[in-house]
Structure 1
Amino acid sequence: MNQKFANRILEIYKPGDIVMIHDYHLLLLPSMLRQRVPHMYIAFFLHIPFPSSEFLRCLPRRRDVLGGVLGANLIGFQSYSYSRHFVSCCTRILGFPSDTSGVEAYGVKVTVGVFPIGIDAAAVEKLAFDGEVIDNQVTELRKIYEGKKIIVGRDRLDSVRGVAQKLMAFERFLEMYPEWVDKAVLIQVTSPTSAEEEKEDSGNKIANKVAELVAKINGLYGSLSFSPVQHYPQYLSQEEYLALLRAADIGLITSVRDGMNTTSLEYVVCQRDDHGPLIISEFSGTAGILKDAIHINPWDLSGVAQSINYALTMSEDNKSAMHTSLYHHVTTRNVQTWINSLVKRLLAVLGSHNAAISTPLLDKAALLTRYRAANKRLFMFDYDGTLTPIVTDPAAAIPGERLLRTLKALASDPRNAVWIISGRDQEFLSQHLGQIPELGFSAEHGSFMRHPRARDWENLAETFDMGWQKEVFDCFQKYTERTPGSFIERKRCALTWHYRPSDPVLGAHMARECQKELEKTVGKTWDVEVMTGKANLEVRPTFINKGEIAKRLVASYGQETGQPPEFTLCLGDDFTDEDMFRALNSSALAPDHVFTVTVGASSKMTLAHWHLLEPSDVISSLALLNGGDSDVADLGALAVVEGKIPDQMPGVTIPDEVPGGKL
């Protein structure tokens, strides 16, 4: 079904159009459109609750669902709790960085917002008060139930609307407050279920349960002349429905899980003159915007009963004050306000993306031209996140055959000096890359060096006192015990605490606490720095960093050849690599001879002059210099589109501005 929608949209789509997608039936559609048209403007709004990660992770295709929605530029929810669940799921299930404003996915920031939906209050009010038919029906209802307080509920007959809870709470109310027997009536309208819901409840268990409760209550508290529960399992005409809301003394909403509840909003409008109190479940998506209503937990039957009694005995002044606030909100935050805020936010998101200072995509034409013109070339590569993808287990980040083949070809050229400058230790680099003797290595962020074709490592931190390591290890050990899945990596000149295998939210929180503690202790008593990496913390001597290695290589290379490098390519992806970019940017090398490239989104803060999106693009770029990879042989900017999802198709070029496209 989603693919059919995608095909139809693409038949009529024009560049600049805004595509708005609604509800759970089309969760996969945003990514399908993004694959076909990478720069389409897409907003998605979910009208139902979004589950927590504990529930969503039960779905076999949970990653497909999340990835599908993340194809949008803007994702809207009815309440903050639903948006929080979505963001948490993206972090816990997909491993994407996130905050309250959105999710970093596929190289771009997908914005997440809360947009409480409204109703066309003016239209509802006009229908409810501008006709004699409804006036007569209101009069008739009040005549039928003269001397009695009318409590009204209208719900679909499914498991989340809380009809059974409402009936049980009303029974508890009559039990706790017998003075209201024969003086209060619950009129409950239950709309028939859809064919889809009938499949879920083929045995009519919900309907049977409701019928049993109605019969029980009427049997206990009713008489031949009066039944305290009036149940209507049918559709009402619009006139009958609005008349019922006008005649009511209380509106009662007891949903156990709900998105937008229109009945509560329509009830407020229909009580314009009588100011009947509204009792609403705290689990309703509308509860968050109706702050002055009486909020209840539908599972707390006695609490609901007490709230019903409170509403029935409320003074006129209190009822008027409550209704004034609710009425103002419903009539000013209507459906038009909702759609305007959604579109305005989308345009703001698109505008900020276009206006943001971004790092340009690596121009491979300029890269290849400079490379071919140079006789002395210097390469400096980070490893994790640059040459190989970031993985949960650092030990699993071993180089693939294509990477090894590409590095071997590059390093075999006598005009090239190729260095791997990594936070990895000597053992890892020797084991996995040592079979290429032409490579040079710097391990532990510059603590050790091994020159090409050499066997021995040079210890650059040999004279430094490492007495701080025990204190840091003890601190890391404490946080390891508090953070299941985390572990300590002990190097000769540094200690690293990894929390990628842990719960991402817990790990990030513990990392912040650990960093604060270390900066207050060893950070003040020793000449060390606490570095934050990708799901890790590392403590190392302050004089050791990749920038110092970059300076050393540029200087030594110039001394050996009698001239500085004519081509320098430096690639990295995280904070520690910024030291290399800084060193090269401030060096005496000709600016047009130096290519500093960060791996990641163009929007991230960096000192690099260029960017590539992911490690596979790095390998393709290096293979291009070797004369391989015909699939990237064209000389335009590297064919990587931010915001793409895996296996996406080529798309169109994004316009310079957000045009006045159609919605």
Structure 2
Amino acid sequence: PVFLSEPLGATFHAFCYGTLWPIFHNIVDVFGALPTRWWNPGQQKAAWASYKTVNRIFVNKVIEVYNDGDLVWLHGLHLLVAPSFLARRLPCVNVGLFLHTPFPSSEIFRTLSVRADLLRGVLAADHIGFHLYEHARHFLTSCRRILGLKYSAQPGGYIGVEYNGRVVMLTISHIGIEPSFMDRIAARPQVQQDVATLAAKYDSGARTVFVSVDRVERLKGILLKVGAIELFLAQHPEHVARVQFVQIGIWDSSNPTPEKDSVRAEILSSAARINARFGAGRKEPLFAYSEVENTDMASRLPLWRVGHVLLTTSVRDAVNLYPFEFIYAHELARSPGVVIVSEFSGSSRVLTGSVGVNPWKRDEIVQAMELALVMTPEERAARHRKDLEYITTNSRTKWAERILVDLKRTKKQAAEGEYMGYGLGLGFRMLEFNAGFKMLETETVAKAYRETFRRVILFDYGNTLTLEEPAGTHNFAKYITDSQTNTFVSKTETPRASSDLLASLSLLCADPRNTVFVLSGKERCDLEKTLGSVRGLGLAAEHGYLYKWGTGMNASASAASGSRAPPSSCGSVSSLGSDVEEGVWLCTKDNFDDSWKDVTHAVMDIYTQRTHGTYIELKGSALLWQYRDADPEFGQLQAKELHDQLTQVLEHFQVEVVTGTDYLEVRPEGVDKGVIVDRIMSTIESTSGQYADFILCMGDDLSDEFMFQYLEDVRPRPNLFTVTVGKKPSAAKFFVNDVDQVTEILHAMTRVSTAAKRNFSMSDLRSFDRSLPPSGGLLAFQRAEMAGYNRPSGNLGYQSEGSFEGVKSSPFGEFVDIEDEDATASAENPLVSDAPGSIGTRGIASRGGLGGLGRNSMSMSSLSTAVTRAVPPTSATYEQYFSNIDETGENEEGGIFF
């Protein structure tokens, strides 16, 4: 057991029953004499601190007795933040929480200053249980409105709340009674004697006895019941002699409050008035009211057996098992009774054979009492059988078993994912990640980068390479309105790239072994403005709808991989240029018809006029209907209907309608970062004939998940690094903490590339020698300038038997294979050889004017002076070594440095 000190217990109970209990029962006393009497800031702060302390004490006690594999099941509003404290101490513990009180509407719950902390505490559990769906609905709405979370139906009848990569399961299950326990109580001789005593006292054989047991508090509706009884007796004097009303009030004299005292005084006054007006000459009062400190089954069961009608009129009640007991008690007596319950009581949802009433409508209660008096025995029996079936098949034991089974099913599976804690205090959250998810170490990337020769490096831009405006913030200055279409045109200011970032990207792109792309949701003009100066850098705008290969990259790759980009607000086609050397923007969609935008805008405009807080945004090739400023539920409802209507009217266009977080987007079909990455990888492989042995892919938001998923599913390999920025659930295998860590990895790779052109070992040269072709192929391309270390560009030529012709370009460091049947090895020219392991060379020329180098005039010094290199077609090994030939000038000897 847990024992609390008196001061701590007092403040803890003050928070539970002075703050949480009224709020959870939808009570906000704004019209009272002292509307903030239970919300004194100083007292509230102390009470909240005590509430958290007591929750920690309970958690410590749980940890003392906890064994691996145990299920922890918490109950009630007293321990709402305990799941959070448990998750911090035992990350893989399986926690369930069941609320036995109503949950308030979101408008009431949001009046709590600690509303977000309470919700996060509850959501740290794996399973949350409610007696009724209406209580769960209020909880889900609060999660949606306060924390911005999504929820959906799950297989098996669950409701799932998506929270930090986990799905917190909710189930609806009303607790029941234990029939076998009532059987044992009913068999006691004392209980049977009490039944006979009460039957004689209230003359149950000649009169219809209405019975009730309620706590003396305003929410139980006793005063509403008494008023309806008085009206019934006044309207139906013929029934006065045929009825008897018995009301038991549960009164805790040890904890009186002015509110309870007032209710009690009104009940006593009303009971005296009814008896004086209608009960003259009766041996027992017509309205028999008595009070007890508490009741148990042995004291209630005789009353249920004597009564013919149970009358409850609670105003707000989560669970009331008295109707269950009443029905089963009459099954034992083989005499069906009638149950009249408030429609605001939880039992009215499950006992469908009962008569439901609105306690605020006295006439309705009067009609229900009249119905109970005149109901035929057949109808009584039918209603009784219907409810009895539910009671016997949903006992308390079966309810507990069902919840525990659900709790076990939602257990965290260590084999399927990993769990990490994040945050401080009640901001602590348990995040679920894919198995193997871990932080990416800079040394790991640098080592893999150093040992590989065909690399593909992919970056998102905003919040990956550079910081930008936080998501969700409102900066209305970033939008301008199109006066003709009344559409917001996204003018988000793209964060400028620092000189350090541009220099690092330039060094990476200068390495001929690298293919570097930046993929962003930004428009192409924004990317051109910020990154267009980086030679060799590939760019993909609007999530891959438009893209271009880096300057100096293979022309055939560009031409084969897409059609010319269409005009846009960023610039005309002519302004984009047509020279591959300058980079041509390509479009992933051929002959794309964008007339869909007019149709889409017209439909969106109708919904915009009917939904406050929404607007249409033109974002590059897509149209968005933003409803983040609208009422969350109404906006979501309208978005769903808009989605259905747009899907219908746009079925003949090559577009897709996508619903995102607080927005609906219409965009060209088959456009996402996964698609463009597939195109990039396929083009590289088909053009160069080589597969990348190193892939680094980094991004920070949901749009990057497509390329993470694609690479992990379709192109897995040892040196594949999919990296999300920020520790959060992702399809990526690695994470880094922030943009600074991305920059650190970027610098590490550039240092490797810079060092690679100066330092090689003898083992490297031996490896180079072993990788040469077996015979006579000349594989040559123009050497990039050492100072810039740029990717090969321009035209390449070769000479056979002293003449130069057949100019070709070399894709991605690929090579031209030239055969010469007349070439033979000679002592004067050891470079000319058909023997395995030698360089078979007939003549090498470049546009730099190196003509005249004949078959027998090539030497090692002339090779250095010519600044050329030979590389095999299926390996980048030669590039590794001959990129280190020192460029010392036209008249100086060059060499290889070790």
Q: For residue 656 of structure 1, what is the aligned residue in structure 2?
A: none
Asked whether 1:594 is paired with 2:720, we answer yes
Partner deviation per Cα, 1:48-95 (whole Å, 9 max, x = no partner): 111121221121111111111101111111112212221222112111
Listed as ranges, the matches of 1:535-550 within 5 Å are 535-542=662-669, 544-547=671-674, 549-550=676-677
Computing the radius of gyration from Cα coordinates, the structure with the larger value is 2
- Check 1:619–1:360 CA distance in 2 against 1; reply closer, same or farther (3 A cut): farther
Asked whether 1:140 is paired with 2:197, we answer yes
Per mean C-alpha deviation after superposition, the further-off stretch among 157-166 and 66-75 is: 157-166
CA contact (8 A) 1:78 1:114 kept: yes
- Check 1:627–1:256 CA distance in 2 against 1; reply closer, same or farther (3 A cut): farther
The offset of 1:207, in angstroms, is 2.0
Q: TM-score, normalised by structure 2?
A: 0.61
The offset of 1:423, in angstroms, is 2.5
The CA distance in 1 between the partners of 2:214 and 2:294, in whole Å, is 12
Gap runs ≥5 in structure 2: 1-53, 154-158, 419-432, 479-491, 553-569, 577-583, 749-898
What is the DSSP-based 3-state SS (H/G/I as helix, E as strand, rest coil) of the residue aligned with 1:287? helix
CA contact (8 A) 1:43 1:75 kept: yes
Gap runs ≥5 in structure 1: 629-663
Residue identity in the other structure for 2:660: G
The CA distance in 1 between the partners of 2:253 and 2:725, in whole Å, is 50
Q: For residue 268 of structure 2, what is the aligned residue in structure 1?
A: 211
Asked whether 1:98 is paired with 2:167, we answer no
Q: For residue 174 of structure 1, what is the aligned residue in structure 2?
A: 233
Q: For residue 39 of structure 1, what is the aligned residue in structure 2?
A: 92
Listed as ranges, the matches of 1:6-25 within 5 Å are 6-25=59-78
- Check 1:73–1:544 CA distance in 2 against 1; reply closer, same or farther (3 A cut): closer
- Check 1:312–1:567 CA distance in 2 against 1; reply closer, same or farther (3 A cut): same
1:469 to 597, 610, 625: 597
The offset of 1:218, in angstroms, is 2.6
Per mean C-alpha deviation after superposition, the further-off stretch among 541-550 and 182-191 is: 541-550
Residue identity in the other structure for 1:41: N
The CA distance in 2 between the partners of 1:33 and 1:224, in whole Å, is 64
The offset of 1:389, in angstroms, is 10
Per mean C-alpha deviation after superposition, the further-off stretch among 163-172 and 370-379 is: 370-379
Q: For residue 268 of structure 1, what is the aligned residue in structure 2?
A: 327
The root-mean-square deviation of aligned C-alpha atoms, in Å, is 4.0
The CA distance in 1 between the partners of 2:227 and 2:526, in whole Å, is 65
Asked whether 1:295 is paired with 2:356, we answer yes
Residue identity in the other structure for 1:512: K
Asked whether 1:81 is paired with 2:139, we answer no
The offset of 1:105, in angstroms, is 0.7
Q: For residue 155 of structure 1, what is the aligned residue in structure 2?
A: 214
What is the DSSP-based 3-state SS (H/G/I as helix, E as strand, rest coil) of the residue aligned with 1:591? coil
Q: For residue 325 of structure 1, what is the aligned residue in structure 2?
A: 386
Asked whether 1:67 is paired with 2:67, we answer no
Listed as ranges, the matches of 1:453-532 within 5 Å are 459-461=585-587, 464-524=592-652, 526-532=653-659
The offset of 1:306, in angstroms, is 0.9
The CA distance in 2 between the partners of 1:407 and 1:113, in whole Å, is 51
The CA distance in 1 between the partners of 2:377 and 2:631, in whole Å, is 52
Q: TM-score, normalised by structure 1?
A: 0.81
The offset of 1:418, in angstroms, is 5.5
The CA distance in 2 between the partners of 1:125 and 1:334, in whole Å, is 13
CA contact (8 A) 1:108 1:601 kept: no
Listed as ranges, the matches of 1:176-195 within 5 Å are 176-193=235-252
CA contact (8 A) 2:548 2:585 kept: no
The CA distance in 1 between the partners of 2:650 and 2:545, in whole Å, is 19
Q: For residue 424 of structure 1, what is the aligned residue in structure 2?
A: 522
The CA distance in 2 between the partners of 1:173 and 1:109, in whole Å, is 52
- Check 1:373–1:213 CA distance in 2 against 1; reply closer, same or farther (3 A cut): farther
What is the DSSP-based 3-state SS (H/G/I as helix, E as strand, rest coil) of the residue aligned with 2:174? coil
1:625 to 742, 745, 755: 745
Asked whether 1:112 is paired with 2:182, we answer no
Partner deviation per Cα, 1:382-440 (whole Å, 9 max, x = no partner): 46798889833475999999x98997796475357654423333577689x76996976
2:285 to 213, 216, 227: 227
Asked whether 1:442 is paired with 2:540, we answer yes
Residue identity in the other structure for 2:172: V
The CA distance in 2 between the partners of 1:116 and 1:612, in whole Å, is 43
1:55 to 92, 104, 108: 108
Asked whether 1:316 is paired with 2:377, we answer yes
Partner deviation per Cα, 1:422-463 (whole Å, 9 max, x = no partner): 3333577689x7699697643322344477899986654597
- Check 1:390–1:513 CA distance in 2 against 1; reply closer, same or farther (3 A cut): farther
Per mean C-alpha deviation after superposition, the further-off stretch among 75-84 and 456-465 is: 456-465
CA contact (8 A) 1:362 1:597 kept: no
The offset of 1:317, in angstroms, is 2.2
State the identity as a percent: 30
Asked whether 1:165 is paired with 2:285, we answer no
Q: For residue 489 of structure 2, what is the aligned residue in structure 1?
A: none
How many residues align? The count is 616
The CA distance in 2 between the partners of 1:297 and 1:46, in whole Å, is 24
Per mean C-alpha deviation after superposition, the further-off stretch among 211-220 and 365-374 is: 365-374
The CA distance in 2 between the partners of 1:61 and 1:399, in whole Å, is 36
- Check 1:356–1:43 CA distance in 2 against 1; reply closer, same or farther (3 A cut): same
The CA distance in 2 between the partners of 1:167 and 1:31, in whole Å, is 45
Listed as ranges, the matches of 1:353-368 within 5 Å are 359-362=434-437, 364=440
The CA distance in 2 between the partners of 1:405 and 1:362, in whole Å, is 32
- Check 1:440–1:224 CA distance in 2 against 1; reply closer, same or farther (3 A cut): farther
Listed as ranges, the matches of 1:565-604 within 5 Å are 565-571=692-698, 577=704, 580=707, 584=711, 591-596=717-722
Residue identity in the other structure for 1:187: V
CA contact (8 A) 1:384 1:390 kept: no
The CA distance in 1 between the partners of 2:253 and 2:458, in whole Å, is 63
Per mean C-alpha deviation after superposition, the further-off stretch among 228-237 and 83-92 is: 228-237
The CA distance in 2 between the partners of 1:305 and 1:283, in whole Å, is 17
The CA distance in 2 between the partners of 1:275 and 1:543, in whole Å, is 65
- Check 1:213–1:234 CA distance in 2 against 1; reply closer, same or farther (3 A cut): same
What is the DSSP-based 3-state SS (H/G/I as helix, E as strand, rest coil) of the residue aligned with 2:241? coil
CA contact (8 A) 2:217 2:260 kept: no
The CA distance in 1 between the partners of 2:253 and 2:522, in whole Å, is 59
- Check 1:122–1:590 CA distance in 2 against 1; reply closer, same or farther (3 A cut): closer
Residue identity in the other structure for 1:529: E
Q: For residue 472 of structure 2, what is the aligned residue in structure 1?
A: 392
- Check 1:76–1:217 CA distance in 2 against 1; reply closer, same or farther (3 A cut): same
Residue identity in the other structure for 2:132: S
